[in-house]
Amino acid sequence: MTELSKMTCEACQAGAPKVSDEELATLMKELPDWAAPVKEGVLQLERVYRFKNFKQAWAFSNKVAEMAEAEFHHPGILLEWGKVTVTWWTHAIGGLHKNDFIMAAKTDALLEE
């Protein structure tokens, strides 16, 4: 478990800082399984988790949804057979805030539960 996963999200609204290019490079090193694609002009964090069947993927997607609601920061959770794709970004700033990296690390930690 990385340090990131132990941190807490701070309140985030329009005007909050996006991560700088330098921060991005550093933070991505802590999340080796995550990619940072640009989708519809918005930089996001994305990871595909694979499972043996639909039920296991479904259970994981519900864990992620539960955490998202608890932290009140909501990702995209794409549930398919044997596969969950989680995407984090901060809608209010149209990009990545440090919160998103914290949530990505917390998502990885859910897998180990």
Contact 98, 52 (CB under 8 A): no
Query: Using CB under 8 A, which of the segments 6-14, 38-46, 68-76, 100-108 binds its own copies?
Result: 68-76
Give me the 9-48 binding string for its own copies, x by CB under 8 A, dash otherwise. Answer: ----------------------------------------
Establish if 58 lies at the interface with its own copies (CB under 8 A). Answer: yes
Q: Centre a 10 Å sphere on the Cβ of residue 95 and count the other Cβ atoms it contains.
A: 18
Candidates 6, 76, 92, 94; binder of its own copies (CB under 8 A) is 76
User: Residue 67: what are its φ and ψ, rounded to 5°?
Assistant: -65, -40
Q: How far is CA 109 from CA 5, 27, 38, 67, 79, in A?
A: 7, 16, 24, 11, 18
Of 77, 109, 110, 111, the one binding its own copies (CB under 8 A) is 77
Question: CA–CA separation, 111 vs 86, rounded Å?
Answer: 12
Nearest distance, CB of residue 104 and its own copies, angstroms? 16
Instruction: Return residues touching its own copies (CB under 8 A).
Output: 54-55, 58, 61-62, 65, 68-69, 74-81, 91
